Structure 1
Amino acid sequence: MNFTPYLSFQGQAADAFTFYGKVFGGTPVLNRFSDIPAGGDMPPLPEEQRNWVMHAQLTLDDGAILMGADMPPQFGGQKQAGVSVAVWRADAEGAKALFEQLAEGGEVTMPFSETFFSKGFGMCRDRFGTAWMVSTGDPAVPQ
């Protein structure tokens, strides 16, 4: 079984997934609310939300998947809170470079450095509000 993070945005999903595609090396697929055929059972959206992303998916060559969408508040959607996406890289240099890309324009909550459990670990919130935990090592092997 695999768990797939599904990130919530409020109008920034397209920009966020374009950024994640550049950071992680992939091309996101973006399906917008405006793509829904007329006459369906979708409640109407205000004009400013019609181009919001209904579903975004980034699939990497190694099989990793990241998903998300813009969540209209009138349907109970809300911004992300209370969750971090954990990402591992085999080497500390690669993990640090990834951390720095994700943190650019955002907020570093724990600077990337060596810890008792990893050769490199850091936490940040990117400019879109997604919380990240970047580590080096093998996630399947306790450090």
Structure 2
Amino acid sequence: MKITPYLTFDGQARDAFTLYQQVLGGELEMMTFAQAPDAGHFPAEHRDRIMHVCLSLGEFSLMASDTMPGDPACGGGQYEGIKGCSISLHPESIVKSERLFAALSEGGQVVMPLEKTFWAERFGMFIDRFGVSWMINCA
């Protein structure tokens, strides 16, 4: 069985996943609401939102979508970002850890600077500019 994190955005899925692919690499597949067979029932002003996006990184994937304004999955229109969950990356080197931390945290909020800890050569936490919480852990 595979477990794949699935994130929900309020119109930022395209920008977020474009950045994630630039930083992490991988293959990006993206579909808008306008590309759905029944796209006509979606409000025209929201058809460019992302219905589904998948970033494939070898055997791992990260998926997401945008909600429609007012969608209960997004707090009924009161979007507050993603809470209670972090995406954890485990780079093989300190250099890669530093590069990932710098690129993904840019414009966001550093929660814990990337530094040596008693359990890792480098560990840090941040919330990116799209509201997604990340951890970098280089053993």
| TM-score, length-scaled by structure 2 | 0.88
Q: Percent identity?
A: 39
Residue number in structure 1 paired with 2:62: 66
SS of residue paired to 1:48: helix
Distance 1:112 1:81 in 2: 21
SS of residue paired to 2:99: helix
SS of residue paired to 2:30: strand
> Does the aligned pair in 2 maintain the 1:18–1:27 contact within 8 Å?
no
Q: Which amino acid aligns with 2:129?
A: R
Residue number in structure 1 paired with 2:107: 105
Q: Which amino acid aligns with 1:121?
A: F
SS of residue paired to 1:22: helix
Residue number in structure 2 paired with 1:12: 12
Distance 1:73 1:43 in 2: 17
CA displacement, residues 40-80 of structure 1 (integer Å, 9 cap, x when unaligned): xx7833322111000000002x3221100002243322242
Moved more, 77-86 or 116-125: 77-86
1:56 to 53, 56, 69: 53
SS of residue paired to 2:90: strand
| TM-score, length-scaled by structure 1 | 0.86
Q: Which amino acid aligns with 2:44?
A: E
Name stretches of at least 5 consecutive residues in structure 2 with no aligned partner. Answer: 75-80
Query: Alpha carbon RMSD of aligned pairs, Å?
Result: 1.6
> Within 5 Å, which residues of 2 pair with 1:87-106?
87-106=89-108
Residue number in structure 1 paired with 2:25: 25
CA displacement, residues 12-33 of structure 1 (integer Å, 9 cap, x when unaligned): 1011111111010123111111
Name stretches of at least 5 consecutive residues in structure 1 with no aligned partner. Answer: 138-143
Residue number in structure 2 paired with 1:81: 83
Q: Which amino acid aligns with 1:69?
A: S
TM-superposed CA distance for 1:81, in Å, is: 1.6
Distance 1:86 1:28 in 2: 19
SS of residue paired to 1:82: coil
> Does the aligned pair in 2 maintain the 1:54–1:69 contact within 8 Å?
yes
Distance 1:120 1:2 in 2: 27
2:128 to 126, 129, 132: 126
Residue number in structure 2 paired with 1:115: 117
Runs of 4+ in 1 over 6 A off after TM superposition: none
